[in-house]
Structure 1
Amino acid sequence: MLNLFAHPKHIFFVLFVCFIAFSVWIYTIPLFSPSQYSEKELHLVAEGRLVWQKYNCHTCHQLYGLGGYLGPDLTNVYSRSGNNEHYIRGIVKSGVKQMPAFEISEDEMKVLLLFLKNVDQSGTSNPQDYQPEILGTFSLEKK
């Protein structure tokens, strides 16, 4: 009887086919999953991410526990503030403590708020729930 895994070339071929199939599957998920945003809104969310990067918000703030540690994690700031866009606007425009006041245009503010709303809806993050492992990965601390 012929064993498929007897030769290293067969093992490589099987693993390569599995890798290709998995890659195609991963990259096609967004194409077939329903989105709550229209194409135009998705473009605006992407513009909001560019505003986030333009003003270097990631140097002080975190999203999903990744980023700077000077300011709070903003993953769920939209729901934490009671969906109050005026509160977020006020913080960004006037600044607080170490955060400077930003001279941000109204268009930039709108797309930044849409970006933060999208991030808020996509998940939650509490960095204190995760513990670093010795190999540089993180594990969720069970409570």
Structure 2
Amino acid sequence: MLNLFIHPKRIFLVLFVCFLAFSIWIYAIPFFNPTPYSKKELHLVAEGRLVWQKYNCHTCHQLYGLGGYLGPDLTNVYSRTANNEAYIKGIIKSGVKQMPAFEISDDEMKALLHFLKNVDATGTSNPQDYQPEIIGTFSLEKK
């Protein structure tokens, strides 16, 4: 009797239906969880990510602790400074120490600032605040 239910075609069908339901659920999440950003702002964030990639910022800088080690982690750079946009624009346009000055257009700068603002709002980056777990994940250390 048990052999009747453990047929390979039925197992495949059940797994396929589960996969299909999960896929639909994953793609439906944005429709049920509205974002605080407008479509224009989301477009600017996406363009900013492309600017980040175009100028290879990730080779020297980190986001969320991932990336190069030559420059500082920029995950929370937007909220670290008082006059954040002017400060970030000045650093990018003039360069400092080992960072070259970039000739970046105003549209690219606006998109990059939106990207950095979005990254800043989504997490923290100080690796010293996180403790590695035995299972390969990290937990936030309470101070």
TM interval, shorter chain, is 0.7 to 0.9
Q: Which residue of 2 aligns with 1:20?
A: 20
Please tell me the root mean square deviation across aligned C-alpha atoms, in Å: 2.5
Identity, % of aligned positions? 76
Structure 2: runs of 5 or more not aligned = none
The alpha-carbon deviation at position 104 of structure 1 amounts to: 1.3
Structure 1: runs of 5 or more not aligned = none
Is 1:6 the counterpart of 2:10? The answer is no
How many corresponding residue pairs?
A: 140
- The 3-state SS of whatever aligns with 1:125 is coil
Q: Quick check: 122-131 or 88-97, which moved more?
A: 122-131
Q: Which residue of 1 aligns with 2:109?
A: 109
- The 3-state SS of whatever aligns with 1:53 is helix
Asked if the contact 2:131/2:140 (under 8 Å) is kept, the reply is: no
Q: List aligned pairs for 1:45-84, cutoff 5 A.
A: 45-82=45-82, 84=84
The alpha-carbon deviation at position 140 of structure 1 amounts to: 0.5
Output the amino acid matched with 2:75.
T
Output the amino acid matched with 2:39.
E
- The 3-state SS of whatever aligns with 2:137 is strand
Could you list the runs of 4 or more consecutive aligned residues of structure 1 that deviate by over 6 angstroms after TM superposition?
none
The alpha-carbon deviation at position 32 of structure 1 amounts to: 2.4
Deviations 1:90-113 (A, max 9, x none): 111121221111111222111110
